[in-house]
Structure formats: structure tokens, C-alpha cells
Amino acid sequence: MKYLSFSLLTLIILTSCISFCNQDDDPDSSDTSEVVKDVEVALFLTDGANFTITTVDCTLSNGTNTTCYQITTNGVPPDHQMGPWCPDNITDGADQGGIWLEGGEVYDVDGAFIQNLATFYNDDTWLMYDSNGDIYTTDTEGDCANAANPNVGVEYENFCVECLPSYVANLTHTYLIPVTPVRLDSPVQFGMMGPPGRGNDGPTNRGIAFNGVLFDAPAPTDAILGAYTLAPFDDAGGHINLAAGYHYHAVTGVSTEIPQNDGHAPMIGYAMDGHGIYARLDESGNEPTDLDDCRGHYDDVRGYHYHVDAAGNNNFINCLGGAYVN
């Protein structure tokens, strides 16, 4: 009886090891218990004409062959108005201008802000208005192009740069995001600005809002200010250039948000790797304390997802935790 008991015990141990020890040695085995959320295309505000989404085959940056959503949009938000950006006179209130992002803070670009630029930046070169208080503002498409040039001429110094929707009325962009996101062992760093949507080292686009507007790379505010120009964002955190059209540089709570049932921060769009992007703060005003270097983390409801940076930081997320489309 003693030997029979020993044999049964040995059999149980060997059987357990077959189930678990071999699993540890299998390089293809992984923890499949984590929730992976597909992109919910129904959340986008598509209109079937200026904003369309189709499904196509695609290859991700890690070599995965999969399916992607191909998003083609003119970048015109259906859920809010674009602008205003530059006030007309130094007496104008905040409703006549947009916002500016500086040092982690969001400032109203009203007439008083323009009047106070020399003090704000401690530089007497700033004088963006005439003796009547009228603010120097670009007013043609040509001025928009010239003032946005990296080598902007001195004739545009002290101009408020305002590029209008009519200048990009025929512009569309196409983006691809995987239907099912694929996490990577190491994050993908964003590249420096290069060709549209693609930098010299990696992708530059951060993601897409539900209204089809791009979450873009940080605005080059140093270059803008270095030319003694100002290119304000509207209250939604967006502005226009002739290459990118209308795009966002900050999340201010104006674009469409999807509330969560558990008090979590609302969802605002998707990153280029297919993972969800959420507002920074939950309904109690708290920011998650366990964000990784990309500003992402995991929970069992939403899977891996991101929380955007503070609007004043001119930033959304810091890197991609998943594979993007080549």
C-alpha cells in the first residue's frame, strides 16, 4: 500500500510538470489573460464622404500581417467650430482669440495677452500691434505659407499667424491603424518631423480623435517664437498649416469624449498603434499614478491604453507601446 501511494504521488507530480514545466520552456507561450480591445470603429464620427473608414490588409512595424482601418479625412471637425485664433485688437476679449501653450500652462490669447508679450517673454522686440491697437495678422494664404516657413523673413516679425480653413478645403489625409493592437516588448519612439506622418526615425503622428482630426507632434513653438511670430491654437487645441490641415496639439475637452461607466477618464480617440487614448484626469480630477514612459497603462476593462499629457505641455503621448503601420 505504501508503494502504491508513492507511485500515485509520483504520477501526480509528473503530470503537473507536464502541464506547467513544459509551458515555462515554450518560447511561444505567453500570458493570454490580458484584455486586448479592438478599435471600435463605430465611435468615429464618419460621414461617408469627407471622413471615411474602410478595412484593408496591412503590415505592422514588427512584421505582423493583419487588417487595419484605413481612415481618410479632410480634418474638418463635425463636433465643434474651428477658430478663432488671432484677436483683431488689444481690447478684444478671450472669445475673440485662441490659446497659447507655454511652460505647462494654457493662456488665453486675448488682446491683453498680445499687448503684454514683451513683458511675458522679457523681450522688448515684441510689439504685435499698431498705434490704434490693431494686431498685425496674416490675412492671405501666401502670408500663411511664408510665415510658417522655417526661414521666415523679417517682414513677418511680430505677426499673429492665422491660417484659415478655406486654405485647406481640398486637403485630405489617409491614416492606417491596426484593427487589433499588438503590444511590443519595447516601445516605439517618435521620430523628428519629416515627411507627412513619418519622421526620420519613426512615426510622428500620435493618433486620431473621434472627429477625424489628427493628434499631431508637439508644435515647434521655439521656432515660432524665435521668429517673433505667434501661431495660436483655438480653444480645442488646434490650428492649421498648409501641409497638415487642421490638427490638434493639445486636448482641452472640446472634441468628442466617450464617458466611462466606472469613473475612469473619458476616451477621446485612438493612437496610431490602435490602443485607446483617454483624457488625462478621471471624474474625480485624478491622474493615474502608474503610467509608463509612453503615458500608458493597463486595466481589465480597457486593456492597454494611454492618458494624454496636460494641455499646457504641448504634448499627447511620449511613445507607442504597440506596433504601427509601416
Q: Which domain holds residue 228?
A: 94-168+221-239
Q: Over the stretch 127-150, which tens digit does the pLDDT of each residue have? A: 999 999 999 999 999 999 999 877
What is the residue type of 102?
E
CA 80/CA 77 separation, integer angstroms:
6
Q: What is the mean pLDDT of residues 260-277?
A: 98
- pLDDT, position 228: 95
- Judge whether 207 lies within some domain: yes
pLDDT tops 60 at residue 10: no
- pLDDT, position 202: 77
Contact 84, 135 (CB under 8 A): no
What is the residue type of 317?
I
Helices within the chain (DSSP H only): 2-25, 111-115, 117-120, 141-147, 221-226
- Same domain, residue pair 311 and 209: yes
- Same domain, residue pair 186 and 288: yes
- Judge whether 25 lies within some domain: no
Q: All 3 cell numbers of residue 189?
A: 519612439
Q: Over the stretch 171-216, which tens digit does the pLDDT of each residue have? A: 999 999 999 999 999 999 998 654 445 554 679 999 999 999 999 9
- Same domain, residue pair 204 and 304: yes
pLDDT tops 60 at residue 14: no
Q: Over the stretch 91-136, which tens digit does the pLDDT of each residue have? A: 999 999 999 999 999 999 999 999 999 999 999 999 999 999 999 9
CA 136/CA 154 separation, integer angstroms:
13
- Domain closes at, from 205, 239, 273: 239
* CA max distance for the chain: 108
Q: What is the mean pLDDT of residues 254-263?
A: 98
Identify the three-state secondary structure at position 55: strand
- Judge whether 245 lies within some domain: no
Q: All 3 cell numbers of residue 141?
A: 494664404
- Same domain, residue pair 104 and 128: yes
- Judge whether 227 lies within some domain: yes
pLDDT tops 80 at residue 281: yes
- pLDDT, position 280: 98
- Same domain, residue pair 203 and 108: no
32: confidence class by pLDDT, cuts 50, 70, 90? low
Identify the three-state secondary structure at position 246: strand
Identify the three-state secondary structure at position 22: helix
Burial 226-238, CB ≥16 within 10 A → b, else e: ebbbbbbbbbbbb
CA 240/CA 167 separation, integer angstroms:
9
- Same domain, residue pair 264 and 309: yes
CA 277/CA 28 separation, integer angstroms:
29
- Same domain, residue pair 197 and 263: yes
- Same domain, residue pair 294 and 206: yes
261: confidence class by pLDDT, cuts 50, 70, 90? very high
- Judge whether 128 lies within some domain: yes
Tally of structural domains, the chain:
2
- Same domain, residue pair 191 and 161: no
Q: Over the stretch 216-233, which tens digit does the pLDDT of each residue have? A: 999 999 999 999 999 999
Task: Look at the block and give the residue holding cell 480645442.
Answer: 236
- Judge whether 120 lies within some domain: yes
- Same domain, residue pair 48 and 143: no
- Same domain, residue pair 143 and 182: no
| CA dihedral (279, 184, 174, 148) positive or negative | positive
**306 contacts: CB under 8 Å, gap ≥ 6:** 207, 271, 275, 276, 277, 278, 294, 295, 296, 316, 317, 321
Would you say how long the chain is, in residues? 326
- Judge whether 137 lies within some domain: yes
Q: Is the pTM of this model over 0.85?
A: yes
DSSP 10: H
- Same domain, residue pair 184 and 261: yes
Work out the end-to-end distance of the chain between its first and last CA atoms, rounded to an integer number of angstroms: 66
- Judge whether 20 lies within some domain: no
CA 224/CA 211 separation, integer angstroms:
27
- pLDDT, position 201: 65
